[in-house]
Amino acid sequence: MSDRITGNKKLEKRVMKKKVTILIFIVSLFFSLNVEAQCAMCRAALGGKENNVQAQAVNDGIVYLMAIPYVLVVGIGYAVYRMRKNKKTD
């Protein structure tokens, strides 16, 4: 009987951890920071008030190039998750 109670408590803890993780992920989606990243060369070339449009375009390009690897990693991770989940059900 005590093994059953211990197993239930472990299951409850795992479920609670998953819920907290999902909650943190959802909350993090609603918060964003406005960051401006430039390398030293870009900053020197685009410095000054007259190059605001070009500087913003460079910042957008940096963010775009940075996002692609993250999207790929998430896609591959999801594919691996689906394959492992399908193996467990077989």
List the chain domain ranges: 1-32, 34-90
pLDDT at res. 38 = 62
**CA distance readout (Å), 11 to 5, 85, 86:** 10, 19, 22
| Rg of the chain over all Cα atoms, to the nearest angstrom | 23
> In this predicted structure, what is the pLDDT of residue 40?
72
What string of pLDDT tens digits covers the 90 residues of the chain?
Answer: 455 666 678 888 888 999 999 999 988 888 777 766 667 776 677 777 777 788 788 888 888 888 999 999 999 999 999 999 888 776
Query: What's the angle, vertex CA 42, arms to CA 59 and CA 68, rounded to 5?
Result: 40
